Amino acid sequence: MQRRVALLALTALAGCGFELRREPELPFKTLALTGFQPDSPLAAGLRRQVKRTPVQLLDDPARAQVVLEVLQEHRDRTVVASTSVGQVREWQLRLNFDYLIRTADGELLVPKVELRLARDMNYTETTALAKEQEAANLYGAMHSDAIAQVMRRLAAVKVQN
């Protein structure tokens, strides 16, 4: 009986168009990443994601079919709310990531993309150490979100063979 219910549930989900999100399939064979800082967490995350695909990462952008060129990668935080005596009560963490996607010859496949991510975080002086860890976790979540968006954008690229 449970087997029939499970089969019926799966059939209903399939009929409604529901499908789990899969890894993006990249329509090219080689990729180069340029413009990243040496210790960039975004570059490390993108490399990990690309290695899960059949696409080969190249160090030389002149030999790659597609080049992801970073124009800006910047993290910062600003005070959103403070008390009357100047103690911070809320921060806004931001990640600015600008990039373009081109061929090795310089032909633009995707013009400049300005990716802006922000997260709000409340803050108290008494839990400063824990709040630093929370900020690191929020930045990590923003990096994961940015990487997923870039991978989807790469999957949508149309390359001439």
Looking up residue 147, the CATH number of its domain turns out to be 3.30.160.150
Share of the chain above pLDDT 70, in %: 86
Residue 50 lies in a domain: yes
**Cα 113 to Cα 127: distance, rounded to the nearest angstrom:** 37
Q: Is residue 9 part of a domain?
A: no
**How many Cβ atoms from other residues are within 10 Å of residue 9's Cβ?**
10
Whether residue 90 lies inside any domain: the answer is yes
Q: Range of 34's domain?
A: 27-155
Confidence of residue 83 (pLDDT cuts 50, 70, 90): confident
pLDDT at 21 over 80: no
pLDDT band at 125 (very low <50, low <70, confident <90, very high): confident
Q: Judge whether 144 lies within some domain.
A: yes
pLDDT over threshold 80, residue 59: yes
- Structurally, how many domains does the chain consist of? 1
Instruction: For residue 8, tell me if it sits in a domain.
Output: no
Spatial neighbors of 103 by CB under 8 A, at least 6 apart, are: 65, 66, 67, 109, 159
State the pTM of this model: 0.80
Q: Give domain status of residue 36, yes or no.
A: yes
Strand order in the sheet with 56-58: 56-58, 30-34, 66-82, 88-102, 108-122
Confidence of residue 87 (pLDDT cuts 50, 70, 90): confident
Q: Is there a domain that residue 19 lies in?
A: no
